[in-house]
C-alpha cells in the first residue's frame, strides 16, 4: 500500500488516533502503528519516515471525518497552508498558542502534523457544522482580558479561544482579498471553536491588535455581544515595561498598523509604544460607538465577570459556576495557581514624571472619552 494512503487512513481513523494519544513511549506508539497498518515487521525508523513524509505533503481530507478529530492550529500565508492539531482537548492555558505548544509536547501531535491547503478546506466548508460565538472580547492588552477568558474557560459549558494565532494570521495575510479573508476566518472559527461534550458556548478573545480589523470581524458576526476592556494608559504602559508584548516591539509586517510604518526609524521604543497604545485607543473609541458593545474598565472588573459580563454573554450561571469564577479571580490570570496581588498603585508610580507626562499627552484625551 502506498505510504500516502497509509498516512491518509491514519489521520481519518479516530479509534486508532485515540489509542495513539494514550501511548506513553515511542515504542508503544510504533507498535500501535504496526497493528493498524498490518505491518508487523516494519522498523520504527521506517514508520517514522512514513509519518514524516505524510507531514511534509498536503492531504485532501474527508472533512466530515477529519475535522471531528483535528483542528487547525497555524496558517502559513506564503503557501496558504493550514497545520492541524487534535481538536477535542479543552484549551485551559492563558493563551491558545500555549495550548498548541502543550499538545506538541505529546507524542501524537509531535509525530503527526497533517497539512492542508486552505483552498481545499474552503471549497468544502459548507459540509462542516457552524458555531455561533456567545461573546467576543476585545481589549487594549493588560486590561484583565486573560482573567476574563481564563475564568470562563474553567466552566464546562464554555470553550474559549484566547488570542488564537491562526485567526490573526488570516487577518494579516496580504495575499487574501476581503471576501477570501472573510470566508477563511469564519471557516476557521467554526473549526477551532467546535464544541465537544458538555460545551455549549464559544467565547473568543481576540489579540489586542485585531482591533484594527473590527469592521471586517463585525460584518461577519453582527449579533455577537462584544466586551471591550480598557485601562488607565499609565498602568498599561507600566505592565508593558515589565513584560513587553508582541505588539509593543517594532514590526515591519504587511498589514500591521500602517500608521506605525510612518514613524521615523529613530523613534525611541518608548515613543513607539506610546504610539501603539494611542492607535489601540483610537480603534477602541470607534468600537465603543457601535451597538452591542459593553465597555468595562479594569478598575471595575470585579465582580463584573460573574455578573454583568456573564449576563451580557447570556451564560445564565448557576451558583456552582459563580463559585468557580470567584475562585478563579483570586488567582493570577497568567500564573499557575499563583495568588493575584493588586499592583495598580505600583504601576501608577513606575515612571518618571517626564515619561508619565508623555504617556498622558499621547493617550489621556482618548482614554477620557470612555469616562
Number of independent structural domains in the chain: 2
Considering the domain architecture, whether residues 290 and 181 belong to the same structural domain is answered as yes
On whether residue 89 sits in a domain, the answer given is: no
pLDDT tens digits for range 111-152:
999 999 999 998 887 788 899 999 999 999 999 999 999 999
Q: In terms of residue numbers, what domain contains 30? A: 3-56
Among 56, 74, 89, where does a domain finish? 56
pTM attached to this predicted model: 0.94
Considering the domain architecture, whether residues 35 and 178 belong to the same structural domain is answered as no
Considering the domain architecture, whether residues 48 and 170 belong to the same structural domain is answered as no
3-state secondary structure 263-306: CCCCCCHHHHHHHHHHHHHHHHHHHHCCCCEEEEEHHHHHHHHH
pLDDT tens digits for range 74-119:
999 999 999 999 999 999 999 999 999 999 999 999 999 999 999 9
On whether residue 182 sits in a domain, the answer given is: yes
Tell the burial category of 359 from Cβ atoms under 10 Å away from its Cβ (0-12, 13-18, 19+). Answer: buried
pLDDT tens digits for range 160-210:
999 999 999 999 998 999 999 999 999 999 999 999 999 999 999 999 999
CATH code where residue 174 lies: 3.40.50.300
Q: Is the per-residue pLDDT at 287 higher than 90?
A: yes
pLDDT tens digits for range 240-257:
998 888 888 887 666 778
Considering the domain architecture, whether residues 49 and 133 belong to the same structural domain is answered as no
Considering the domain architecture, whether residues 322 and 208 belong to the same structural domain is answered as yes
On whether residue 72 sits in a domain, the answer given is: no
On whether residue 81 sits in a domain, the answer given is: no
- With beta carbons less than 8 A apart as the criterion, state whether 206 and 137 touch: yes
Amino acid at each position: 500500500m502506498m505510504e500516502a494512503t497509509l498516512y491518509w487512513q491514519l489521520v481519518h481513523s479516530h479509534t486508532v488516533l485515540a489509542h495513539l494519544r494514550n501511548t506513553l513511549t515511542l515504542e508503544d506508539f510504533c507498535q500501535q502503528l504496526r497493528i493498524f497498518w498490518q505491518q508487523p515487521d516494519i522498523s520504527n525508523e521506517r514508520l517514522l519516515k512514513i509519518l514524516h513524509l505524510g507531514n511534509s505533503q498536503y492531504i485532501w481530507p474527508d472533512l466530515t471525518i477529519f475535522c471531528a478529530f483535528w483542528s487547525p492550529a497555524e496558517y502559513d500565508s506564503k503557501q496558504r497552508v493550514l497545520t492541524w492539531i487534535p481538536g477535542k482537548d479543552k484549551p485551559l492555558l492563558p493563551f491558545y498558542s500555549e495550548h498548541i505548544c502543550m499538545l506538541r509536547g505529546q507524542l501524537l501531535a509531535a509525530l503527526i502534523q497533517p497539512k492542508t491547503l486552505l483552498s481545499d478546506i474552503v471549497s468544502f466548508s459548507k459540509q462542516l457544522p457552524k458555531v455561533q460565538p456567545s461573546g467576543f472580547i476585545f481589549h487594549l492588552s493588560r486590561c484583565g482580558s486573560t482573567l476574563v477568558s481564563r475564568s470562563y474557560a474553567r466552566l464546562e459549558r464554555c470553550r474559549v479561544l484566547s488570542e488564537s494565532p491562526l485567526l490573526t494570521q488570516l487577518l494579516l495575510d496580504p495575499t487574501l482579498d476581503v471576501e477570501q479573508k472573510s470566508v477563511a476566518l469564519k471557516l476557521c472559527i467554526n473549526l477551532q471553536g467546535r464544541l465537544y461534550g458538555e460545551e455549549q458556548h464559544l467565547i473568543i478573545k481576540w489579540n489586542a491588535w485585531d482591533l484594527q480589523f473590527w469592521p471586517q470581524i463585525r460584518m461577519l458576526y453582527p449579533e455577537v455581544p462584544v466586551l471591550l476592556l480598557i485601562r488607565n494608559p499609565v498602568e498599561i504602559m507600566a505592565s508593558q515595561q515589565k513584560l513587553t508584548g508582541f505588539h509593543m516591539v517594532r514590526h515591519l509586517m504587511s498589514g500591521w498598523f500602517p500608521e506605525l510604518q510612518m514613524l521615523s526609524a529613530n523613534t525611541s521604543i518608548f515613543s513607539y509604544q506610546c504610539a501603539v497604545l494611542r492607535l489601540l485607543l483610537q480603534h477602541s473609541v470607534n468600537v465603543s460607538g457601535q451597538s452591542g458593545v459593553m465597555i468595562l474598565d479594569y478598575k471595575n472588573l470585579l465582580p463584573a465577570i460573574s455578573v454583568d459580563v456573564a449576563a451580557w454573554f447570556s451564560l445564565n450561571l448557576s451558583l456552582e459556576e459563580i463559585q468557580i469564577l470567584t475562585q478563579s479571580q483570586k488567582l493570577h490570570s497568567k500564573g499557575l495557581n499563583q495568588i493575584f496581588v493588586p499592583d495598580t498603585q505600583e504601576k501608577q508610580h513606575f515612571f518618571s514624571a517626564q515619561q508619565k507626562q508623555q504617556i498622558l499627552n499621547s493617550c489621556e484625551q482618548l482614554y477620557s472619552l470612555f469616562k
